[in-house]
């Protein structure tokens, strides 16, 4: 009986020691700033917070609560950051999917989404609260990590504001497909 109790006690201690050992982290579960930044942007949608349905609308990250139906054509969203943080809104002006511009082929006239803050730190999660639509005006400086963008204000704005942005602050709009708002008279 003593041997059985001591054997049982040894087994319990062995299991306790084995359970307390520090588990090695799997190399596949590593995370870094770029992955966290992309995960943040890919798990939310971009919704117009100010100047809704205008070419110069301000977009912020939002959680998609309800998709449109045949009876109700509006998305129901809740903003997670930006000037409208916490606000629930019914809107049609939602960008569902974006992709990083880095390494992608981009042409003049492509409509993209640009981070308003344009931080030099590539993956600054603190500055993801304000975005604007822009049109690519030149790709000449892409080898330096900068792309030139135009910010038209309406369909008749042929001399829009122009600015250079770091490539890591610009995203392709993949869903829905968006065209340049301006109507050129050629």
Token pair belonging to 7: 């054997």
Tell the residue number behind the tokens 């590539």, with chain if given: 122
Question: Which value, to the nearest 10 degrees, does the dihedral of the CA atoms of residues 112, 117, 87, 96 take?
Answer: 20
**DSSP strand pairing (161-166 vs 94-95):** unpaired
Give residue-wise pLDDT tens across range 6-63. 666 666 666 555 555 544 454 555 567 778 888 888 899 999 999 998 888 999 999 9
Whole-number Å distance between alpha carbons of 23 and 171: 38
Whole-number Å distance between alpha carbons of 60 and 129: 5
Is 88 or 19 the better-scoring residue by pLDDT? Answer: 88
Whole-number Å distance between alpha carbons of 46 and 61: 5
Give residue-wise pLDDT tens across range 102-152. 656 788 888 999 999 988 887 777 888 899 999 999 999 988 989 999 998
DSSP assignment string, 46-59 = EEEEESTTSTT-EE
CA 172 to chain centre: 10
Closest CA to 112 of 121, 101, 120: 101
Closest CA to 63 of 75, 52, 71, 51: 75
Whole-number Å distance between alpha carbons of 185 and 159: 14
Three-class DSSP category at 80: coil
């Amino acid at each position: 009986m003593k041997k059985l109790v001591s054997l049982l006690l040894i087994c319990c201690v062995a299991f306790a020691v084995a359970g307390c050992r520090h588990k090695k982290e799997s190399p596949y579960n590593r995370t870094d700033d770029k992955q966290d930044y992309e995960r943040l942007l890919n798990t939310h949608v971009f919704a117009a917070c100010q100047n809704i349905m205008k070419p110069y609308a301000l977009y912020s990250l939002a959680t998609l609560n309800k998709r449109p139906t045949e009876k109700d054509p509006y998305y129901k969203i809740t903003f997670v950051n930006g000037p409208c943080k916490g606000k629930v809104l019914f809107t049609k002006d939602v960008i569902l999917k974006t992709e990083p511009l880095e390494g992608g082929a981009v042409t003049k006239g492509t409509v993209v989404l640009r981070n308003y803050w344009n931080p030099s730190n590539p993956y600054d999660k603190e500055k993801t609260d304000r975005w604007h639509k822009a049109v690519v005006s030149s790709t000449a400086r892409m080898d330096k990590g900068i792309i030139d963008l135009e910010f038209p204000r309406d369909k008749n704005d042929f001399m829009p504001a122009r600015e250079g942005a770091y490539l890591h602050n610009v995203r392709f709009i993949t869903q829905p497909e968006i065209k340049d708002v301006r109507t050129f008279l050629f």
